[in-house]
Structure 1
Amino acid sequence: MENKVSRWCLVSMASIPLVMTLGNSMLIPVLPIFEKKVGITSFQSSTIITSYSVAAIFLIPVAGYLSDRFGRKIVILPSLVLAFIGGLIAGFSSWKVDDPFIWITIGRVLQGIGAAGATPIILPLVGDLYKGDDEKASSCLGIIETSNTFGKVLSPILGSLFAVFLWFLPFFSISFFSLISIILVFFFIKVPKGEEEEPQPFKQFLQKTKDIFKQEGKWLYPVFLLGVYAMLVLFAVLFFMSDILEKIHQIKGVKKGFVLAIPLFTLCIAAFVTGKKIKGDTAVMKWVLVIALIMMSASVVFVGYVSEKIILLLIVTSVLGTAIGGMLPTLDALITEGIEKGERGTITSFYSSSRFIGVAAGPPVMSLLMKEYLNMGYMAGGAIGAILLLIVWFLIKPEKRANKTKNA
């Protein structure tokens, strides 16, 4: 029996990655302000992003297992509440505490735990709702990923705008957006009836997970690596741009937010179009990944060289954004459509965890490379992309995957 998914259910699902993206990306343009107001170094300010992501990395697989065992919605709602509380702690400590860095970090860790329990559960939830309809699932995943990337477009603009009024207002705004998402999820996401299965014992779960990685590892591991690579490059470049737009180009405040949003806008458009076009076709997915990796590898090496010429910088980073936008919904679809429902939450959670590794590593790696090894770092990024291109070409086999998906 086909499950009808209402528009409000789609909006509710899309609100979760939107809120979690705002929770991280909104702070990137205001990190230089945090450094001055709190009296911290560039590396310390990068840990405001990293603390959120590190918490998520370790807890996402746990959330995936719990969602398979107890249900998607039961895990999502408490996680959103934690994100709400984390924003309040970070905001109030910035407002009232003399030396707030530790308390901001604690608030960010709580938000990361919230992200761990909410964001990765959306992918298997889409698979549950559209079971047996890969085309609709791909289209929905495109909308979800577009919401995620649209959050990235809004983030620098909103973060810069809020910071104009109060430098710590972005923290409070995260709690406000989390509250909206809590209300939407509570009222509009309906768990499909008759789909529940008897939860498997933990020992059996571990064995099944090992078996999946043994059987599907040839294509799963490359997908995980691509998730790490895409997010590491994206957040490293955004952190770098946030810094140089102020220091070299004297672009600050809301204007900086709009400039940062340009490559993210191309990412958003590419994610939306890709989600509509791939339609569960693994052969098309492989070619999207190949083309995206060629574009990424070719463009990332030039970011440092063109950083002093704003137009060229925006052209290069927009090409990079387009490539990442094409890659993300494709990776989502490969995993969601290639893994059976009972293990989908766990496997997609490992994938989401891999993406958070990239998010966590990007800003601190860039803060260490910026002073002396900038261009060398970007060239290394291009070389890694070329290696991943070869891995995708030889290890992701569309024909075999397509058959497996149909038989699942």
Structure 2
Amino acid sequence: MRPDTIRWFAVLSLVPFIMVLGNSMLIPVLPAIRSHLHLTMVQTGLVITAFSLPAAVTIPFAGALSDRVGRKAVMVPALVLYGIGGILAGLSAWLLPGRFWPIVGARVLQGIGAGGTYQLSMALVGDMFQSTERSQALGWLEASNGLGKVVSPLLGALAALASWFLPFFLYGVLALPVAFGVHRAVREKAPRREEGGVARYLRQIPEIARRRGAALSAAYGAGMLLLFALFGLLSLLSDELEARHRLSQLARGGIIAIPVGMMAIASFTSGRSLQTRPERLKPLSVIGLICAAAALGALAFVSRPLWLTIALSALLGLGTGLTLPAVNTLITGAVSRDHRGVVTAFYGTVRFGGVAVGPPLFGLATQATARLAVFAGTALALAALAWALSVVRVSSGPSPAQAGGPAQLAPAPGGVKGQPDET
């Protein structure tokens, strides 16, 4: 990257970092929230779901709107709403002690804001970078997201030492300056205006689904299932560390940072590898899914010693980090710039959906047996692996327009030929 590009891209990289705080910062604080508000495990999981589910619903609309009006025009207000929602959650906990549902309402507002953040930064990278630079930039974004997952449990645990609801206020303190930075510094290309307007745009979406729906679904499913398993497992691990091992919030945050730290390192190295060797995209995806399935399968039978549980959780983080940059590269290169926003937005929806349902479903399953949830995650990871093996195609020659690298999503049988990654 050129020096001027590095400067604005560094600001853009803060967006996935800020967004991931929305859930990860609260993971080690969940036992304290449950204790102060006298909640069940399922109710506590709603603190995560109330953020993630509205984000999942909002993301497609944010992506489609960004294709029409520009990425920044959606991203900046979304970051502001994200920060304000966090501040309102903190005020609800402070001024309405013992009340759970006002916090849930504020988290819903925060989740709506989150819907216009990370996925739009991915679409913007797809717009602004071509060839192998795109894989590197997407790897950096995923690494920034992973770094946020590493820092946020520690940050949340440290803030909760002062007060259990202080982490909510940090969202506003961090997100509002980033919104200003994106507005001032980040570059983007002006959206193209084509004949037919919104009606033509909407008519083209079913055509994209027909041509590449099966392949995109495979990529979407891999991203969703990995994050479903990771966040479901982390919520269980946090509760286990508090209930069985009586560890402090700070200690829990440090242990939870291990698997997400492994994910961040793997995301960065995977993105760098794809920049120079794009033909590794399919092998990295397959290896990552194998690691995730193996870790989940082993965790179904392991509950102690603690170090082995942590090691297997780290293996799950490794598999997630190896797979996600490859999946991101496939998705951003699957369609042209005019529809990249909505395609990456649907990807964001399924990612947030996985995060939303992971903690409460894992918590619900543990009321019967913890193995049920982990077995289900293992089966889904294996299904994603089989699907990825069948649809990901990597050619040895250059890609169309030299824009997306040689790795491609195979179109559906009978699909329309074309150059999906034109810019």
Look up the equivalent residue of 1:381 and give its one-letter code.
G
Q: Which 5+ residue runs of structure 2 have no aligned equivalent?
A: 403-418
Instruction: Report the CA distance shift for 1:241/1:63 in structure 2 as closer, same or farther (over 3 A).
Output: same
Q: Work out which of the residue numbers 304, 312, 316 in structure 1 matches 2:312.
A: 316
Question: How far apart are residue 190 of structure 1 and its match?
Answer: 2.0
Look up the equivalent residue of 1:198 and give its one-letter code.
R
| Of 340-349 and 250-259, the range deviating more from structure 2 | 250-259
Instruction: Report the CA distance shift for 1:73/1:120 in structure 2 as closer, same or farther (over 3 A).
Output: same
Q: Distance in 1 between the 2:154 and 2:109 partners? A: 24
Q: Work out which of the residue numbers 217, 242, 246 in structure 2 matches 1:246.
A: 242
The corresponding residue for 1:197 is: 192
The corresponding residue for 1:119 is: 118
Q: Distance in 1 between the 2:179 and 2:30 partners? A: 27
Question: How far apart are residue 280 of structure 1 and its match?
Answer: 7.9
Does 2:24 correspond to 1:25?
yes
The corresponding residue for 1:223 is: 219
Correspondence list, 1:272-283, <5 A: 272-279=268-275, 283=279
The corresponding residue for 2:172 is: 175
The corresponding residue for 2:374 is: 378
The corresponding residue for 1:78 is: 77
Look up the equivalent residue of 2:363 and give its one-letter code.
S
Q: Which 5+ residue runs of structure 1 have no aligned equivalent?
A: none
The corresponding residue for 2:159 is: 162
The corresponding residue for 1:68 is: 67
Q: Deviations over 1:298-346 (max 9, x none)?
A: 1112224323311101111111110001111111111112221001001
The corresponding residue for 2:46 is: 47
Correspondence list, 1:263-302, <5 A: 263-279=259-275, 283-302=279-298
Sequence identity (%): 34
Q: Distance in 1 between the 2:23 and 2:42 partners? A: 16
Q: Distance in 2 between the 1:216 and 1:182 partners? A: 34
Does 2:133 correspond to 1:136?
yes
The corresponding residue for 2:414 is: none
The corresponding residue for 2:339 is: 343
Tell me if the contact between 1:55 and 1:116 (Cα under 8 Å) persists in the aligned partners.
yes
| Of 93-102 and 224-233, the range deviating more from structure 2 | 93-102
Does 2:175 correspond to 1:152?
no
Look up the equivalent residue of 1:57 and give its one-letter code.
A
| Of 209-218 and 345-354, the range deviating more from structure 2 | 209-218
Q: Deviations over 1:186-224 (max 9, x none)?
A: 2211223xx531155222122111111111123111001
Q: Deviations over 1:58-113 (max 9, x none)?
A: 11000001100001110011101111110111000100113431111111111111
Give the TM-score taking structure 2 as reference length.
0.91
Q: Deviations over 1:344-387 (max 9, x none)?
A: 00100001111011000100011111232211321222122222
SS where residue 329 of structure 1 aligns?
helix
Look up the equivalent residue of 1:108 and give its one-letter code.
R
Tell me if the contact between 1:301 and 1:375 (Cα under 8 Å) persists in the aligned partners.
no
Tell me if the contact between 2:361 and 2:373 (Cα under 8 Å) persists in the aligned partners.
no
Look up the equivalent residue of 1:124 and give its one-letter code.
A
Tell me if the contact between 1:264 and 1:321 (Cα under 8 Å) persists in the aligned partners.
yes
Does 2:363 correspond to 1:364?
no
The corresponding residue for 1:38 is: 37
Tell me if the contact between 1:87 and 1:111 (Cα under 8 Å) persists in the aligned partners.
yes
Instruction: Report the CA distance shift for 1:282/1:136 in structure 2 as closer, same or farther (over 3 A).
Output: closer
Q: Distance in 2 between the 1:273 and 1:138 partners? A: 11
Q: Distance in 2 between the 1:89 and 1:240 partners? A: 27
Question: How far apart are residue 177 of structure 1 and its match?
Answer: 0.8
Instruction: Report the CA distance shift for 1:249/1:55 in structure 2 as closer, same or farther (over 3 A).
Output: same
Look up the equivalent residue of 1:79 and give its one-letter code.
A
Q: Distance in 2 between the 1:287 and 1:191 partners? A: 32
Look up the equivalent residue of 1:181 and give its one-letter code.
V
Give the TM-score taking structure 1 as reference length.
0.95
| Of 101-110 and 273-282, the range deviating more from structure 2 | 273-282
| Of 174-183 and 274-283, the range deviating more from structure 2 | 274-283
SS where residue 302 of structure 1 aligns?
helix
Instruction: Report the CA distance shift for 1:144/1:77 in structure 2 as closer, same or farther (over 3 A).
Output: same
Tell me if the contact between 2:263 and 2:320 (Cα under 8 Å) persists in the aligned partners.
yes
Q: Distance in 2 between the 1:146 and 1:45 partners? A: 28
Question: How far apart are residue 11 of structure 1 and its match?
Answer: 1.8
- Number of residue equivalences: 403
Tell me if the contact between 1:233 and 1:362 (Cα under 8 Å) persists in the aligned partners.
yes
Look up the equivalent residue of 2:338 and give its one-letter code.
G
SS where residue 164 of structure 2 aligns?
coil
Q: Distance in 1 between the 2:115 and 2:106 partners? A: 14
Question: How far apart are residue 249 of structure 1 and its match?
Answer: 1.4
The corresponding residue for 2:407 is: none
Q: Distance in 2 between the 1:266 and 1:325 partners? A: 7
SS where residue 397 of structure 1 aligns?
strand
